[in-house]
Amino acid sequence: MSLNSVTLVGRAGRDPEVRYFESGSVVCNLTLAVDRRRKNSEEPDWFNLEIWGKTAEVAANYVRKGSLIGVSGALKLEHWQDRGTGMARSKPVIRVDRLDLLGSKRDNESGGGGDSDDMY
């Protein structure tokens, strides 16, 4: 049996970057800052998120830098070759299946998240 499941709650590190393709597909990329549970931790852990389809459009419309969101998805490794050095490179990315807008209505009015019960 194998399992690849990731669930995170944190704040968007930047506004979403959205790309539309001729095929009609849409992808949204953004970063998520997640605080550690340790008391002395001042630096958050950063995660790269990749969101597709209708959920990507929701993220593009409602998520802004600083928005509190929850995501569920799977971890994948992106591989590429560095153009400058020719070395193989990789980075972990969370492929998001579910997006929860966790901010308050006041946050939503100021450009932040949405209602606490919104999920996509």
Q: How far is CA 76 from CA 11, 73, 79, 86, 102, in A?
A: 21, 10, 10, 22, 25
pLDDT score of 115 more than 60: no
Residue 60 to residue 64: CA distance in whole angstroms: 8
Sorting pLDDT into bands at 50, 70 and 90, what band is 100? Answer: very high
What's the whole-model pTM score?
A: 0.80
Per the CB < 8 A criterion, the answer to whether 66 and 11 are in contact is yes
Architecture of the domain defined by 6-119: Beta Barrel (2.40)
Domain residue spans of the chain: 6-119
Model pLDDT for residues 39-64, shown as the tens digit of each residue: 666 789 999 999 999 999 999 999 99
Looking at the predicted structure, is the pLDDT value of residue 120 above 70? no
Tell whether the model's pLDDT for residue 110 goes beyond 50.
Answer: yes
Tens-digit pLDDT profile for residues 66-78? 999 999 999 999 9
Q: Which has more pLDDT, 103 or 3? A: 3
